[in-house]
Amino acid sequence: MNRPLIKSTLLKALEAAGAILKRSLGQREASTKDSALSLVTATDKAAEKMILETIKAEFPDHAFLTEESPAEGRSSSRWIIDPVDGTTNFAHTFPMACVSIAFEQDGILEFGGVFDPFRDELFIAEKGQGAFLNGEPIHVSANATLSQSLLCTGFPYDRRERADFYLSIIKAFIMEVHGVRRTGTAALDLCYVACGRFDGFWEVKLNAWDKAAAMVILEEAGGRLSDFSGNPLTLDGIQNLASNGLVHDEMLEVLKPYKEM
Ligand code: IPD
Ligand code: CA
Ligand code: CA
């Protein structure tokens, strides 16, 4: 594995796609995909094309899992790409969205990069090498009590069918914490846990591309990832819980009634 080339290619792709997002905000050109709530814009497609071209120029034989095109390639080296995480925000000109790219070798997530071009914030991590925000090392918060936590969550795309279920989890948490936020971009939510802005995050039904890059970043920043029963989080896991580690068990306790779903 050519680590320096993977890292420089990852950075190049994040920057190039981020520039597309930044200059395209305000173009309200969304159409729907598989459900009325699942949007896609010309920017999602343009950013994805740019990312694929940038990476394939260096690694034409690698495999790719991307949100807006079918998976391609058969290789133990795989890139997992969300060209715009936060498409609904983006389509409404709410400037909270990012580009998320992970690199996996033999099933192990080795690199993760998340770039928010609206705040010029680049989160990057390499397995075993720590996590960084704009070049500075980051770490999860030191808050050890759920009652003093700021949490974040997201509403999955089946929220109209299961509104009561999702709202009851939110209700359970707001009784316990300082606050609960919903930003509309799971990748940044996880990065915000990684750098201590949030103490914890939960969401069900994320896709691999929503979380792969930020999983590396969070783990390298000292956080913990699991399902609602405390088992390690996997890329295809449905229940996603992330925290600074210190409030994790308390979060699991709140989620206990919801772990069978
Ligand atoms: C979505 C965002 C959102 C989360 C959804 C994701 P997209 O990704 O991460 O925060 O709640 O579950 O699908 O569609 O903007 O790439
Ligand atoms: Ca996404
Ligand atoms: Ca997306």
Q: Which of 94, 155, 185, 188 to mutate to test the pocket of ligand 1 (most atoms within 8 A of CB)?
A: 185
Q: For domain 146-258, which CATH number applies: 3.40.190.80, 3.90.660.10, 1.20.1440.120, 3.40.50.720? A: 3.40.190.80
Q: How far is Cα 27 from Cα 76, in angstroms, rounded to an integer?
A: 37
Q: How far is Cα 70 from Cα 35, in angstroms, rounded to an integer?
A: 18
pLDDT digits (tens, 9 = 90+) for 237-252: 999 999 999 999 999 9
Global pTM reads: 0.96
The CA 122 to ligand 1 mean position distance, Å, reads 19
DSSP assignment of 74-132 = --SEEEEEEEEE-HHHHHTT-S--EEEEEEEETTEEEEEEEEETTTTEEEEEETTS-EE
> What pLDDT was estimated at residue 156?
84
Query: Which residues surround the ion ligand 2 when the cut-off is CB under 5 Å?
Result: 82, 85, 210
> What pLDDT was estimated at residue 34?
66
Q: Which residue has the tokens 């995050």?
A: 201
| 8 Å CB contact between 101 and 85 | no
Domains of the chain by residue range: 3-137, 146-258
Nearest ligand 1 atom to the CA of 87 is: 15
What the block records as the tokens of 1 is 């594995």
Torsion of CA 27, 33, 35, 41, to 10 degrees: -10
pLDDT digits (tens, 9 = 90+) for 25-58: 877 666 776 666 677 788 999 999 999 999 999 9
| Nearest ligand to the CA atom of 90 | 1
- Per CATH, domain 3-137 is 3.30.540.10: yes
**CA-proximal residue: ligand 1, atom 8 (nearest):** 85
The CA 1 to ligand 1 mean position distance, Å, reads 31
> What pLDDT was estimated at residue 141?
98
> What pLDDT was estimated at residue 1?
85
* Residue of 100, 107, 122, 97 whose CA lies nearest to 211: 100
Ranges of the chain with pLDDT below 50: none
> Which residues, judged by CB distance below 6 Å to any ligand atom, belong to the binding site of ligand 1?
82, 84-88, 154-156, 184-186, 203, 206, 210
